[in-house]
Amino acid sequence: MFKYLLSLFLLTSLTSLAQNRDSANVGLLFKESLTNGKAYAWLDYLSNRIGSRLSGSESAAKAVTYTEKELQNLKVDRVMLQDVMVPHWVRGNDDKAYMKSKGKKTELSCCALGMSIATPSTGIEAQIVEVTNFEDIIALGKEKIKGKIVFMNHPMNQNVIRTFTAYGEAAKYRWGTASKAAAQGAIGVVVRSMNISIDDYPHTGAMGYVDSIVKIPACAISTLDAEMLSKQLKEDPSTTVWFKQSCQTLPDAPSHNVIAEIKGSEFPDEIIVVGGHLDSWDLADGSHDDGTGVVQSMEVLNLIKATGLQPKRTIRCVLFMNEENGGKGGEKYAEESKNKKEKNIAAIESDAGGFAPRGFSFKGDSASMQHVMKYKEVLEPFGLPEWEKGYGGADINHMEDQGTLLIGFSPDSQRYFDIHHSALDTFDRVNQRELQLGAASMAALAWMISEYGVK
């Protein structure tokens, strides 16, 4: 009995010592990030010197060159570019729209949806048919839709705490309304912006076509104008809308993922990926989506180097290209990694804005999730209370079939969709301290996984 109690005491003492050591190391990462971190300065350059970074653009290429150089300056073990072909869609001249009722024209704040086709040079004008879901389109049918413009007025749900849940439910209407409406004879589509707030800023984002259905132009209008248009249609069902856009899809363009890593000292073949996406939409400089994720992922390597910590497993930063309108960077990384038989044991993605950290969401093998959830005891005191089963990330999800534990970094999201994909996604809306806390949070989890693995 005495030996058992002694063994239990020693085990408890050793566990306590390990936790104290881990907490001290995590504390070093947070201190370094908050006092000497580079992420905010990197983001300043990325946002204000380079600007928006739509896939295939000159500015996207500049972002590759800049981040590669900065990662090389960290003197990590390896920095490389990974070739990837990406879609090249361009917006063209300013998007314009108005509604007309009883001879009066009222301007609408609009923007072309990503990957949409253009209108004729004179624009298109037709009577508006308002719907709130796909079932409405089918129910109305060709008799009431043919030759008209469909107005998809589906708001994001205000009654959910998790704003990404509301976005996920609503975004399918941005993506799929054009083909659904075209199948019933519509000549164009106007979509309510994916935004919880009621304001006058339209939000872009990717939409898609079905190859077997005629392509029609699609734009988004601001939530404020969506409310106004809906009200006007109730007063005057004969209201028309005119919109014009000159966007086009050019041939696919060559681009790159940017990859850098610190080799593990004991298990170098086991890789922990940290990443965000280099590309952004073109209405603003893309600071929150996803400049913050890019610089936070770079910062993970900087913090590990600056604190002198030696990871047992390899920590690899991957800056993915083309998350916004194709996902080709994530596909390419997963494909090449699989072909090389690399062992990506975990991947942490930051693509939810640079707001204050809240925790992480996990997707993957239940045993791995349970194992990593144990690290909460060390990290929760650093402001990371939310650990839950959920979503990984658009780029890292391509590694799911390789058995990788997918982890989404979760900052506070209540303000994110006010700016997401809009002209408001600018550098001045990023708080330096919140950004650096997020980088430290990612580094801390990557460090814990490096120390103790996922199983």
Inter-CA distances, 59 with 99, 101, 284, 376, 429, Å: 35, 41, 12, 39, 21
Q: What is the pLDDT of residues 249-259, one digit of tens each?
A: 999 999 999 99
pLDDT of residue 18: 75
323 catalytic residue (yes or no): yes
Question: Which domains occur in the chain, in start order?
Answer: 26-89+251-452 (3.40.630.10), 92-246 (3.50.30.30)
State the Cα–Cα distance between residues 232 and 106, nearest whole angstrom.
11
CA angle 292, 293, 294 (to 5 degrees): 90
Q: What single-letter amino acid sits at 187?
A: I
Residue 11 — very low, low, confident or very high, per pLDDT cuts 50/70/90? very low
> Under 8 Å CB-to-CB from 330, ≥6 apart: which residues?
320, 323, 394, 395, 396, 397, 398
Q: How many residues does the chain have?
A: 455
pLDDT of residue 19: 80
Residue 295 clears pLDDT 60, i.e. is over it: yes
pLDDT of residue 261: 98
Q: What is the mean pLDDT of residues 238-254?
A: 98
Q: What is the mean pLDDT of residues 49-70?
A: 98
Q: What is the pLDDT of residues 100-144, one digit of tens each?
A: 999 999 999 999 999 999 999 999 999 999 999 999 999 999 999
Note the Cα 2 to chain centre separation in Å. 56
pLDDT of residue 15: 60
pLDDT of residue 9: 45
Q: What is the mean pLDDT of residues 67-82?
A: 98
Across 91-178, the runs of DSSP E, i.e. the strands, are 96-101, 104-107, 110-112, 124-131, 149-152
Helix (H, G, I), strand (E, B) or coil at 379: helix
Residue 368 clears pLDDT 80, i.e. is over it: yes
pLDDT of residue 2: 46
Supply the pTM of this predicted model: 0.95
Note the Cα 59 to chain centre separation in Å. 19
Inter-CA distances, 431 with 80, 207, 246, 435, Å: 30, 31, 35, 6
Across 193-266, the runs of DSSP E, i.e. the strands, are 218-221, 240-244, 248-262
Q: What is the mean pLDDT of residues 352-365?
A: 97
Q: What is the mean pLDDT of residues 331-358?
A: 98
CA angle 375, 338, 439 (to 5 degrees): 35
**If you ran DSSP here, which 8-state letter would residue 141 be given?**
H
State the Cα–Cα distance between residues 205 and 445, nearest whole angstrom.
31
Residue 78 clears pLDDT 70, i.e. is over it: yes
Instruction: Please give the share of the chain, as a percent, with pLDDT higher than 70.
Output: 96
Helix (H, G, I), strand (E, B) or coil at 96: strand
> Under 8 Å CB-to-CB from 357, ≥6 apart: which residues?
383, 384, 409, 410, 411, 412, 434, 437, 438, 441
Quote helix, strand, coil % in the chain, to nearest 5. Answer: 40, 25, 35
Among 32, 323, 342, 349, which one carries the catalytic annotation?
323
Q: What is the pLDDT of residues 371-398, one digit of tens each?
A: 999 999 999 999 999 999 999 999 999 9
pLDDT of residue 17: 60
